[in-house]
Structure 1
Amino acid sequence: MNLGGRIILIGDSITEWGRHEDPEGIGKGYVRVIHDYFKITKPDSKIEIVNRGVGGNRINDLKSRWDQDILELNPDTVSISIGINDVWRQLDQPELEQIYPDRFEAIYRHLLKQVKNHTNASLILMEPTIIEESLLSEGNKMLKPYVDIVNRLAEEYHAILVPTHQAFMKYLHTNSDYRLTTDGVHLNSAGNLLVAQQWMKAVEN
């Protein structure tokens, strides 16, 4: 994929990660790693990285701000990372109205149609990462249908798929005691590097 122009990365706190405190609005998570990679490797390029992550967001929250944060900004590429909170809220706030896989897929498909119908942007879909650093955690079991949906939609909409969940699960299989998160969900520097690495590899391939 030949990246250029305005690349909007939208998602939840994993994408947001410090952007409001950053004068550049990039943050200190995986978006920062991607931004700096382009600055170093393509210093003459016209690539503009825009971070539109908002902590706590689920897929319905993306829908509510899709016009403002995506369509009105006329992106050349849209990268979407969502799904963690759609599952996590089922575990930590069961009293909320929940977003189960069927609704998740319907809203996600609607957002992708909006991009296709109103922009010329390319699409990058990122699998949700992990919920707890355990292969057998309840969160990771519940996350599987959401990961499958992202894979299916990436194929259907000819989007680049970033196999983030697969990369994290592969790492967990190594039984390394070096952690990738601060609390089982939010990424530390190693986790952010892994996400950025998977993103760049998918894009460059």
Structure 2
Amino acid sequence: MSTIHNERILFIGDSITDCNRNRSEREHDSDRLGHGYVSFIHALLQATYPSKHYKVTNKGIGGNTIRDLQERWQRDVLTLKPDLLFIMIGINDVWRQFDQPSDFAQHVYPDEFTGTYRQLVEQSSAKKICLLSPFYIQSEKGDPMRKMMDHYGDLTKSVAETCHVSFIDLQKQTFDPLMQGLDDIEIAQDRIHPSSVGHMAIARTILKHLDFKWDN
């Protein structure tokens, strides 16, 4: 964390990132970062490193797929010139294939997902970029949606490797271990939107990736 000082950290994604954030985005609005992992990360950073000034921005929008990120990439990422960029996308790209199975126009298949993802990462000039895998809170790995979500997680990893950026596998590193001790419903009642426990687990994983020191 010693290298991060007065820099802009931007999180972009879907409803998991959004988490009911205040769209006005006024700097001192207490809910401008939402009520999930982005807010937790910001609070923990400021409480642990009070002398540093972290400019944390939340650009999550519920329901987004990789297509939606592409449409708003210039406005919500490139113009803000973040130093650290975290991207979490893919859940809706998979979910639309299950909750709207006959609406093929809403489906984002692997080739489009990886191709668009690569374009977005390659356009970005952030000093550090980290891709976060999509996840599904289902301990049964043979479940059809869990299997597809795991596949899109692997696709995300492949994009990170191709573009030489960081990757965090939230499914394997965060939620699979958590499901060994907690019932799935305690982490996310609908298997998609995490409880406060699930959001804190995401925050801990990201902070560990940033070499966060709890005893600073």
- Whether TM exceeds 0.5 here: the answer is yes
Which of 127, 145, 148 does residue 139 from structure 1 map onto?
A: 145
Question: Which stretch of structure 1 is more off in the superposition, 180-189 or 18-27?
Answer: 18-27
CA deviations 1:68-123 (Å, max 9, x no partner) are 000001111110000000000000012142111111000000000110xxx24310
Counterparts of 1:29 and 1:96, CA distance in 2: 31
Summarize the Cα distance change of 1:131–1:103 in structure 2 as closer, same or farther, 3 Å threshold. farther
What is the correspondence of 1:105-184 to structure 2 with a 5 Å cutoff? 105-115=114-124, 119-130=125-136, 132=138, 134-166=140-172, 167-172=174-179, 174=180, 176-177=182-183, 179-184=186-191
SS at structure 1 position matched to 2:187: coil
Counterparts of 2:211 and 2:163, CA distance in 1: 19
Is residue 77 from structure 1 mapped to residue 84 from structure 2 by the alignment? Answer: yes
SS at structure 2 position matched to 1:204: coil
Structure 1 unaligned spans of 5+: none
What is the correspondence of 1:1-205 to structure 2 with a 5 Å cutoff? 2-4=3-5, 5-20=7-22, 23-24=29-30, 25-94=32-101, 95-97=103-105, 98-115=107-124, 119-130=125-136, 132=138, 134-166=140-172, 167-172=174-179, 174=180, 176-177=182-183, 179-204=186-211
Please state how far the C-alpha of 1:176 moved relative to its aligned partner. 3.0
Q: Which runs of 4+ in 1 moved over 4 A?
A: none
Summarize the Cα distance change of 1:27–1:120 in structure 2 as closer, same or farther, 3 Å threshold. closer
Summarize the Cα distance change of 1:30–1:185 in structure 2 as closer, same or farther, 3 Å threshold. same
SS at structure 2 position matched to 1:124: strand
SS at structure 2 position matched to 1:135: coil
SS at structure 2 position matched to 1:86: helix
Q: TM-score, normalised by structure 1?
A: 0.91
Please state how far the C-alpha of 1:151 moved relative to its aligned partner. 1.3
What is the number of residues matched between the two proteins? 201
Would the aligned equivalents of 1:161 and 1:202 in 2 still touch at CA under 8 Å?
Answer: no
Q: TM-score, normalised by structure 2?
A: 0.86
CA deviations 1:180-202 (Å, max 9, x no partner) are 01311011001001111111112
Question: Which stretch of structure 1 is more off in the superposition, 185-194 or 38-47?
Answer: 38-47
Please state how far the C-alpha of 1:46 moved relative to its aligned partner. 2.4
Counterparts of 1:163 and 1:132, CA distance in 2: 15
SS at structure 2 position matched to 1:19: coil
The code of the aligned residue for 2:123 comes to: Q
Q: Output the aligned Cα RMSD.
A: 1.9
Counterparts of 2:50 and 2:177, CA distance in 1: 33
